[in-house]
Amino acid sequence: MNKPKGTMDQLPREVIKWRHVEEKFREICHRYGFDEIRTPTFEFTSLFKRGVGETTDIVQKEMFTVISDANLRKYHEGKFDLDKRGFTLKPEGTAPVVRSFVENKLYADAQPTKLFYITPCFRNENPQAGRLREFHQVGIETLSAMNPATDAEIIALAKNYFEELGLRDLTIKINSVGCKSCRPVYHEKLKTFLEPRLDQLCETCQGRFHTNPLRILDCKVPTCQAAVKDAPRLIDHLCEDCQTHFSGLKDALDAFGIPFVVDSRIVRGLDYYTKTAFEIISENIGAQATVCGGGRYDGLVEEVGGPETPGVGFGLGIERLILTLEAEGVAFPDPEPTQVFIVVLGEAAKLTGLGILKALRDAGIKSDFDHLERSLKAQMRYADKLSAAYTLILGEEELKSREVTVKHMASSTQESVKIDEIPDYILAHLGGRR
């Protein structure tokens, strides 16, 4: 049996990297005052239709909608409304957080609400490097704050995170996608520009022309990119409010010491984005270069049924982040080696060995014993494979004298230590390290 296409097993040597990036993220979020939130793996399909947007790639072709076997039978009989009662595996993290913010009335607490998440996401895409069907995101959201400095803080956190992981060669691109008062005017301008060029656009963009023309600007197809090269720019058509916000963002980024470029083609794929949109691009991983994308979504909370509340955040793919770190040759922590391996000869020695093992582990020392009842030589070889710092050899003699030979593997030196004193001896020699 194989795993489904587009999914990944995370074997222990990979999990070390995952834990590293997740722990770093938790630590940075804590420093910036964000608290962790966990939401269900699936939500009502309607949440994503509303919160992500009917015209987005995600809703149109990438969602995994799930149904129980019992409801599947009803569905075939025409008695189950999948649109109303169906569940969808979360394709992104923001809509569920906003749903939870509304459902749990977090807006009634002192504001803003600053949340972070680490979550699996599911999208039915063509699997390739950095593009999976089950992938993982870390992300943050700040709700209830309109301040452009809040947007800058989100970008600052992402940048800080990347830097502390050791990433270089990152470009921060910012844009403003306007709001519901200035965007429709721009849409018309853009459509007027694109109309005579419609036949140069890919099939998807010809559809987007009617549903979501802004998305044409960030299409990766070369003919589309050529067609929009001289298109009017949304940042030249912002209303006063959006203009003020955008210049406030630039000032706040300067104040945080964050270099950025304005790229009028950063639009983000989701309908609910307003004003700030940004991407962080790595120059080193080729086609799937966007490691982090985010922005402001002032219309989303209301869309999901809550009070009018602004929001801003980002989502970042862990798989792509790790690919980027690997491409840049960034070092991950080494697995912690076994500190003590107990070699036992015979049943009585094994039982005494288990007692020593417990004392070592209680003292916080990573230790193990021979589970396979191997010969002395084979046990020593295995201890070597584990890169054990110390080996204890426990035979009949040692049981009688209650003293054990402790061998320091790297120097091949050994000492006799009283059984009761072993944990203290090891701690002292490991420099008290746990």
Q: Would you tell me which residues interact with ligand ATP (CB under 6 A)? A: 92, 123, 125, 130-132, 135, 137, 269, 288, 290-293, 315-317, 319-320
Q: Tokens standing for 246?
A: 């955008």
Output the smallest distance, CB 86 to ligand ATP, in A: 21
* Closer residue to ligand ATP (CB): 260 or 278: 278
C-alpha neighbours within 13 Å on the C-beta side of residue 94: 31
Output the smallest distance, CB 297 to ligand ATP, in A: 12
One-letter amino acid at 215 equals R
Strands of 413-418's sheet in order across: 367-369, 340-344, 390-394, 403-408, 413-418
* Closer residue to ligand ATP (CB): 165 or 291: 291
Cβ burial 215-249 (10 Å sphere, 16+ → b, else e): bbbbbeeeebeebbeebebbbebbbeebbebbebb
CB 122 within 8 A of CB 280: no
* Closer residue to ligand ATP (CB): 4 or 257: 4
Which of 289, 306, 288, 290 has its CA nearest to residue 298? 306
Output the smallest distance, CB 118 to ligand ATP, in A: 13
* Closer residue to ligand ATP (CB): 131 or 366: 131
Output the smallest distance, CB 372 to ligand ATP, in A: 40
Output the smallest distance, CB 364 to ligand ATP, in A: 37
* Closer residue to ligand ATP (CB): 286 or 355: 286
Q: Which helix (H) or strand (E) holds 140?
A: strand 134-143
Q: Using alpha carbons, list the distances in angstroms from residue 93 to 7, 206, 241, 300.
A: 18, 29, 28, 13
* Closer residue to ligand ATP (CB): 179 or 291: 291
**Terminal CA-to-CA distance of the chain, rounded, Å?**
40
Residue of closest CB approach to ligand ATP: 317
CB 181 within 8 A of CB 284: no
* Closer residue to ligand ATP (CB): 292 or 389: 292
Output the smallest distance, CB 267 to ligand ATP, in A: 10
Output the smallest distance, CB 326 to ligand ATP, in A: 15
